[in-house]
A and B are shown apart, each in its own frame.
Chain A
Amino acid sequence: MKRIIKIGLLMIVLSIGSIITSDAREACNTVYFTCGNGSGGYGLVCFSGPMEYIVNCMEMQSVICSN
């Protein structure tokens, strides 16, 4: 019985851990982009990690700065 409880608790903990590990909740920020000529604009940047943040910012800045 004790062993079953132990395994049960461990499974719960592992499940919580796996939820955290796979948690890729997307956050969104409104970012102001400044162009070299002083103009700029806003873009909604959504990301679930730094790499997604970077590529989305690069795209937004390129569009806003008409580059």
Chain B
Amino acid sequence: MKIKLLFLSLFVFFTLNSIAQEFKTKELISIDTTKWLCTYNYDFFQDSTSSYSKRNDQMYLQVGSHLSKFSCVSSFISDSILYFAQRKNMDMQAFINLYSKSLSGVSSNIMSMYTIFKNYPSKGLMIFTAFDDNKFYKVEQPMHMNWRLDTQKDTAILGYNCQKAYTSYAGRNWVAWYSQQIPLTDGPYKFNGLPGLILKISDTKKQHCFTLNSIKKASYIQTINLQTVSFVDITAEEYIKIMKNKMMRLYGNLQNGVVTIDSEEAKAKALHGLMSRNNFIEKF
């Protein structure tokens, strides 16, 4: 009887233990499959008061069957590695080794470290997700945008015929070029709803500009993944406040030695960069 009990105890112990390990590695779930993969160059001024603060990031738009995902290059690569690691049941150390090799030399700006899912959690809605200090945040909002189409103006971008459209969004006026030759009512950032893919969009003061760099049909099965973490619901305005606090926290990390940079010149540049990031894409 005692032996029976011991076996039962061991069985329950190991079952719970294995469930715990599996749970810890399932931090991403697949919610769609990429049909089209678009890359955009994102040129922006991180400091609204300085013409020397221009930065560039590469952004990815994955368009699936019923939703799309827009993220920076760091998120895009990290996401792929984590999903791969999960499928291969890698342990943490193996994941860290793979991640370090894959992300070496690749970095994104903190101001573009967000992910936008359109037509998620349901058609007509979108979520904007970001993180700070191991907390994950989510802004849920309707996708609807009011556009004014100008069919008289046209141009060609990457060989596609494009028409012009205008909108006002989150404190800025925007000019977009879209192509009906690519029948996707999507675009970079939160922009959507035109009768063709947005190939270029810029605010009228040319502070933020997204330009299509490439578009291709997915040649292999590439999942569109969502984090399974618990998100804290916030508004778009609260996101700006969180980002400002984040800059302060990172500034502190750099000053108190949690982060060290090889050269003093680079450190000074980094400190200045953290304090001067004020030109968020959305203005309130």
Interface residues of A (CB under 8 A from B): 2, 5-6, 9-10, 12-14, 16-18, 20-21, 23, 27, 29, 31, 33-36, 39-44, 49-67
Contact = CB atoms under 8 A, between A and B. Distances in A.
A63 B27 contact: no
24 contacts: A9-B9, A13-B12, A17-B17, A17-B20, A23-B20, A31-B100, A33-B107, A39-B262, A39-B266, A41-B261, A43-B253, A50-B25, A50-B85, A51-B229, A52-B134, A53-B96, A55-B134, A57-B103, A63-B259, A64-B259, A64-B261, A64-B270, A66-B266, A67-B109
The range of chain B's interface size is 35 or more
Nearest to B105: A36
A16 B13 CA distance: 7
- Decide if the interface of chain A is mainly helix, strand, loop or mixed: helix
Nearest to B90: A50
B269 interface: yes
A33 to B, nearest CB: 8
- Decide if the interface of chain B is mainly helix, strand, loop or mixed: helix
**From A10, A40, A54, residue with most partner B Cβ within 10 Å:** A54
B259 A41 contact: yes
Contacts of A31: 100
Contacts of B254: 63
A16 B17 CA distance: 9
Given A39-B266, A53-B92, A58-B78, 10 more contacts: A9-B9, A14-B16, A17-B12, A20-B20, A27-B92, A34-B104, A39-B261, A42-B260, A49-B27, A64-B259
